[in-house]
Amino acid sequence: MNPLDPFFKPKSVALIGAAHTETKLGGVVLRNLLKFRGKVYPINPKYPELMGIKSYPSVSDIPEPVDLAIILRPSSEAPAVLKELGDRARGILIMSSGFAETGETALQAEVQRLGKELGVRILGPNCMGVYNPHHKLDTFFLPSSRLQRPKKGNVSVISQSGAILSCLLSTVKEANTGISKAVGYGNAADITESDLYEYLANDRKTSVVVSYLESVIDGRRFVESAKALSHKKSLIILKAGKGSSGQAAAFSHTGRLAGRYEVFHAIVRQFGIREAMDFDELMDATKALSYQGPSGGKRVCIITNGGGSGVLAADECMRQGLEATGLSAGKKERLGHIFPNFFGINNPVDLTAQVRDEDYALALRELREDYDGFVVIALPNVLGITERLAELLKEAKAAINKPIVSHIAPSRITARLRVRLEKARIPVYPSPERAVKGLRVLLE
Amino acid sequence: MNPLDPFFKPKSVALIGAAHTETKLGGVVLRNLLKFRGKVYPINPKYPELMGIKSYPSVSDIPEPVDLAIILRPSSEAPAVLKELGDRARGILIMSSGFAETGETALQAEVQRLGKELGVRILGPNCMGVYNPHHKLDTFFLPSSRLQRPKKGNVSVISQSGAILSCLLSTVKEANTGISKAVGYGNAADITESDLYEYLANDRKTSVVVSYLESVIDGRRFVESAKALSHKKSLIILKAGKGSSGQAAAFSHTGRLAGRYEVFHAIVRQFGIREAMDFDELMDATKALSYQGPSGGKRVCIITNGGGSGVLAADECMRQGLEATGLSAGKKERLGHIFPNFFGINNPVDLTAQVRDEDYALALRELREDYDGFVVIALPNVLGITERLAELLKEAKAAINKPIVSHIAPSRITARLRVRLEKARIPVYPSPERAVKGLRVLLE
């Protein structure tokens, strides 16, 4: 049994600081825990019952030791609660804030010391906790009326920030993708990114890991665990706290030193670990990796019906170190026979405003051997593009078996086209440049 | 009378190549021209009537000279049509493709020569033409069922690419902003970006100019006209065709040499002309400038209820040369009295998951004198944030009178909150970084 299992697959959960109403965080967490199929023990001395289940005055009143104890009481009470818990919990999740991030370093150190003394692992403090849809476990203090949870899937998200975690989950949900494990680990007083990397490396339900971090606790262990994880799964990291103001912000957020970003950047680069430079890149990469497996190569073909969008995609290829090399003479001649003479037979292939859906599939099939990945750009504000495009691209993708991403410009049919393309596991991006960035993640 | 007036405010328009059905581009353009309140003359030898109005067999059959003649016939016919038009048109818009962009350089040169000979200005070829909602003029070959037109407003968009033009218009529409003039000028055989800059500098209905270009025809004139324009209005430029593949793509798109990007970049920087680096930056800047006037300064205050989002915003401030400097000792003390002790009293101000709407307004009012611009970040997946936030921020904005932008993270109330904030002219961005980039445009 892995010491982190109680956090992901508990059989029983105690919530210290449960509340009777969802206007309090302790009520929101309890409501979310009610979906859990194991045993739930709310702790609150004022009520015999909370949201229809029996409540207990204190942790010592719970009839059995629990797998996971969640603490949601003011930070100053945490040491007393830990002592009271003693050996009655196999894992402890401290959600409360008011530790190192607000200057209470001694309090956080005491909690760390107590955890070691009791031989129990601690997640947090100052964190969101865990969402594991495969186990119906949801410890978040965000109501599902506000944050819709994604379905089960293969993406694990681990984040020091609850804000970023929730934004990533919204994106995953929106992209019709699913979650394996989602973890907000906050101040990382005990369990760090490295523990989570090691755990997820061996989690069969996870194939993509998205990691947002502000601080690295142990540089050597971080490198080892990130390397090992990225050999087995697709890992993408966003490191925040890059400059002095960001570092100051990170310090008041999680009470951890962000460290010199240049060092971090050089190290992940050296070991070939994927890094997103900002929030949008992290989101876009998550989408790409959750839809398609990465493969090799640098040669990119852009197929568009909008000339300018094609030029912008070509510019981004250059910035991303990808090669939008021209068509071979043979392929130029061949496409010249297939397409009307006003099409741009080059790379980008420009299908112009007089495009029909099937022209994309034709171009993809003809050029499948010549490139490593494809960017399909469709501006559906011409009548020649219809929702049928999704079906044709799906077929072409199956025949080609290489990474394909798309940018669908805004129009009245874009939303429907997008849903159909993403069901076919072709990610759709809101700009030519972001589509290219999405593809780059798949070509690393 | 300005020689470009016939393109923007014609009293009469002839369409050479009008069609009877919207499955043809000539039918789409005619349908869009029917909204025009001046006289429309469709030219098509096969039909006596098109879409309910009298059609003419040839241009020589039109009863009067026209202000604007639109040519939508195969490129090879363009010289003959120009000769037939003679002095019967005050401005000529050639929409057809098949000129320099497909290697037909001689044909384009002949059209240029004929225009000069006839003493008439030419827009295009290979272009979308003009949308001027103030004049109800719409020459686009995109049906309004696919590309919804924005309302009247103060933003002019000029683009060598029809694709980018249409994407920009969708964004402007989506952002509830309005258009003064929109122009797709394609191969720029005669009318160039400089002509349009000069025209818009004196256009009272325009206060923001968004320019997408792939090539600069006359470098000296470009610099002069861009400088002059940016002294009078907010100008933002996106230059595409930055690297060799992008430049090749631009050449096959508009038949123009993109030129060395480094030279372009150094020049616009030297003269303080705003440049967007990619499509998203151009869109984001357009939104910011259409909502709020630019003002000076570098000091940025970030007010957030999500710690990680605040850190990312601070990182982006650094990249953008903005200063997210810490709070003064006095203000720290003051806010420490107002807010609960678990709030992060710093820059970013972290209102945490226990935020209430009014905390944002409180922080803004307290810090109004200390900073030049504000980034408001709200994660409405906590119950303390409601749609009322829009009203409170609107009031705070009026009291502060400095640039404010926002990032509203995804949640069930985000769409409604966004509409209300943007009605109050506070731009909403989909990530912390993009909000900061939007603010930077307002602080230049």
Confidence of residue B274 (pLDDT cuts 50, 70, 90): very high
Q: Which positions in chain B touch A381 (Cβ < 8 Å)?
A: 142-143, 146-147, 166, 170
Q: Which positions in chain B touch A254 (Cβ < 8 Å)?
A: 307
Mutate: best of A311, A371, A434, partner B, most B CBs <10 A: A311
Distance CA B62, CA B210 (A): 36
- What average pLDDT does range A299-328 have in this prediction? 96
> Which tens digits make up the pLDDT trace of A227-260?
999 999 999 999 999 877 777 777 777 777 667 8
Please identify which residue in the block is written with the tokens 């999740």: A93
Percent of chain A predicted with pLDDT > 90: 85
Q: How far is B1 from chain A (nearest CA, A)?
A: 33
Model ipTM over 0.95: no
| Residue-level pLDDT at B95 | 97
A350 to B252: CB separation less than 8 angstroms, yes or no? yes
Percent of chain B predicted with pLDDT > 70: 99
Q: How far is B411 from chain A (nearest CA, A)?
A: 5
Q: Which candidate from A146, A164, A304 shows the least CB-CB separation from B309? A: A164
B413 to A146: CB separation less than 8 angstroms, yes or no? yes
A381 to B212: CB separation less than 8 angstroms, yes or no? no
| Residue-level pLDDT at A257 | 66
- Write down how long chain A is: 444
pLDDT surpasses 70 at A345: yes
- What average pLDDT does range A408-418 have in this prediction? 93
> Which tens digits make up the pLDDT trace of B187-196?
999 999 999 9
* SS3 letters across chain A: CCCCHHHHCCCEEEEECCCCCCCCHHHHHHHHHCCCCCEEEEECCCCCEECCEECECCHHHCCCCEEEEEECCCHHHHHHHHHHHCCCEEEEEECCCCCHHHCCHHHHHHHHHHHHHHCCEEECCCCCEEEEHHHCEECCCCCCCCCCCCEEEEEEEEECCHHHHHHHHHHHHHCCCEEEEEEECCCCCCCCHHHHHHHHHCCCCCCEEEEEECCCCCHHHHHHHHHHHHHHCEEEEEECCCCHHHHHHHHHHHCCCCCCHHHHHHHHHHCCCEEECCHHHHHHHHHHHHHCCCCCCCEEEEEECCHHHHHHHHHHHHHCCCECCCCCHHHHHHHHHHCCCCCECCCCEECCCCCCHHHHHHHHHHHCCCCCEEEEEECCCCCCCCCHHHHHHHHHHHHHCCCEEEEECCCCCHHHHHHHHHHCCCCEECCHHHHHHHHHHHCC
Percent of chain B predicted with pLDDT > 90: 85
pTM listed for this prediction: 0.91
pLDDT surpasses 90 at A391: yes
- What average pLDDT does range A90-108 have in this prediction? 94
A with B: how many residue pairs have Cβ under 8 Å apart? 294
Q: Which positions in chain A touch B182 (Cβ < 8 Å)?
A: none
Q: Which candidate from B142, B305, B325 shows the least CB-CB separation from A381? A: B142
| Residue-level pLDDT at B384 | 94
B314 to A248: CB separation less than 8 angstroms, yes or no? yes
Mutate: best of A312, A317, A335, A434, partner B, most B CBs <10 A: A312
- According to DSSP, the residues that pair with B16 across neighbouring strands are B43, B71
Please identify which residue in the block is written with the tokens 């790409």: A288
A214 to B308: CB separation less than 8 angstroms, yes or no? yes
- What average pLDDT does range B372-400 have in this prediction? 96
Q: How far is A317 from chain B (nearest CA, A)?
A: 8
Cβ distance A83 to A112 under 8 Å? no
| Residue-level pLDDT at B341 | 85
| Residue-level pLDDT at B176 | 82
Q: Which candidate from A101, A242, A383 shows the least CB-CB separation from B143? A: A383
Q: Which positions in chain B touch A351 (Cβ < 8 Å)?
A: none
Share the mean pLDDT of chain A.
94
Q: Which candidate from B142, B163, B353 shows the least CB-CB separation from A308? A: B163
Reduced to 3 states, what is the DSSP secondary structure of residue B356? coil
A240 to B308: CB separation less than 8 angstroms, yes or no? yes
pLDDT surpasses 70 at A226: yes
A318 to B245: CB separation less than 8 angstroms, yes or no? yes
| Residue-level pLDDT at B89 | 97
Q: Which candidate from A167, A250, A309 shows the least CB-CB separation from B409? A: A167
> Which tens digits make up the pLDDT trace of B195-230?
999 999 999 999 999 999 998 888 889 999 999 999
Q: Which positions in chain A touch B430 (Cβ < 8 Å)?
A: 280
> Which tens digits make up the pLDDT trace of B98-133?
999 888 999 999 999 999 999 999 999 999 999 999
Q: Which positions in chain A touch B102 (Cβ < 8 Å)?
A: 341-342, 344
- According to DSSP, the residues that pair with A132 across neighbouring strands are A137
pLDDT surpasses 70 at B257: no
CA B279 vs CA B43, B163, B342: distances in Å:
37, 12, 40
- Output the CA torsion sign for A196, A201, A205, A209: positive
| Residue-level pLDDT at A75 | 95
